[in-house]
Amino acid sequence: MEPHVHNEKCREVFALLSEYLDLELPPDACQEIEAHIAGCAPCIEFADSLRKTVALCKRYEPGEPPSPLREEARVQLKKAYDRMLTERKQRS
Amino acid sequence: MPSEDHENEVELARRLLAGDALAFERFVEHFHAKIFHYSWMMCGDREDAEEVAQETLLNIFESSEQLREPEKVRSWVFRIAKNACLTKRRKSIFAPSRELSLDELMPVKHQDGDRVRIEIADWSVLPDGRALQGEMNVLLERAIRELPEIYRSVILMRDIEEISTAETAEILDVSQDTIKTRLHRARLAVRQAIDKYLRGESKGQATIHGTTCAQ
């Protein structure tokens, strides 16, 4: 791909990339970005790295699990849940 | 978190509200882990996160403002968790949050005659599949923890928990535009951390290369 003029447009695209990837941009802004990055190797590469970052975040799996709830905490939660159900029944 | 997980949560919430005892057990187990991880990332302290998770679960059942729409169970749980985290953090000393500017998150540029060289790692070593995810989890966790709090909460809700922009805005009491701005900067900061890692630590797998364009 031929080198292109590195201008304000790259910066504008840079500022809107997440909204572009999330499909949250209006169609005209989206088309403008696509028209720019089609001819801009650095923007394509940068957008791809951001897309991969988002994909990695969405596949993130937390490491250490919490300690199991203590029995007394479970009993307390169950009592609160039962009270909640009783209140719901009384209201309906 | 896949959307299938969200559908299961909605079903679980429906059964919970219908009085299903088994659903109660599963609800507690599922959200205990979720709230704990969110709180640990937000509070930075495992013991605090354990307390927040427990308090949040209790508030879920004791709150006068009970869950009315099972479809919104995830955002409803996280609203309660966020408030519990805030209360916990108010009790401890923490550094003031700072703003991330777009300039500091832009790729590093080098002037090369009349051209600008943009440094970027070889991201093709990161396939779209699950390969390398274990290694990446550790890196992601560190990168997210290092974000200023206002960005950390947004990326955790939007990209890890996959809560919508509108619901995240509601939970965090800010506008949708603010959520979009913060999410973008959070992602850029995490991207920057991964890029540095790929350039500095994956020798033999990732190679530095630059793309150039005329200024």
Q: What is the pTM of this model?
A: 0.86
Give the orientation angle of helix B165-172 with respect to helix B176-200, to 10 degrees. 100
What is the mean predicted confidence (pLDDT) over B188-198? 94
pLDDT beyond 90 at B29: yes
* Sign of the alpha-carbon dihedral angle for A62, B123, B105, B174: negative
pLDDT of res. B39: 95
Which of helix, strand or coil describes residue B32? helix
The tens digit of pLDDT for each residue in B32-43 reads: 999 999 999 998
Statement: residue A73 has pLDDT above 90: yes
Instruction: Tell me which H or E stretch contains B210.
Output: strand B209-214
Q: Which of B61, B123, B155 sits opposite A77 (nearest CB)?
A: B61
C-alpha to C-alpha distance for B214 and B130, rounded to whole angstroms? 37
CB atoms within 10 A of CB B100: 20
pLDDT digits (tens, 9 = 90+) for B152-190: 999 999 999 999 999 999 999 999 999 999 999 999 999
Q: Is the pLDDT of residue A82 over 60?
A: yes
**B interface test, pick of A21, A24, A60, A87 with most B CB neighbours within 10 Å:** A60
| Contact criterion met (CB < 8 Å) for A50 and B165 | no
Helix axes A41-58, B176-200, angle to 10 degrees: 100
B213 and A73: CB-CB below 8 Å?
A: no
Name the band, by pLDDT with cuts 50, 70 and 90, for residue B108. confident
Q: Does A32 touch chain B (CB under 8 A)?
A: no
pLDDT of amino acid A3: 42
Q: In sequence order, what DSSP letters do the residues of B156-203 get, joined into one string?
A: IIIIIS---HHHHHHHHTS-HHHHHHHHHHHHHHHHHHHHHHHHHT-T
How confident is the model at residue B203, as a pLDDT? 41
> Euclidean distance between the first and final Cα of chain B, in Å?
41
- pLDDT the model gives residue B188: 97
Q: Is A70 left (phi over 0), alpha (psi -120 to 50) or beta?
A: beta
B105: phi then psi, degrees, rounded to nearest 5: -105, -5
What pLDDT digit, counting tens, does each position of A14-63 carry? 999 999 999 999 999 999 999 999 988 889 889 999 999 999 999 898 88
Please judge whether A84 and B61 are an interchain contact, meaning their C-beta atoms are less than 8 angstroms apart.
yes
| pLDDT of B213 | 41
For position A88, what pLDDT does the model report? 85
> Helices B73-90 and B3-17 meet at what angle, rounded to 10?
90
Query: Which has the higher per-residue pLDDT, A43 or B131?
Result: A43
B190·A73 Cβ contact <8 A? no
Closest CA to B82 of B2, B183, B174, B1: B174
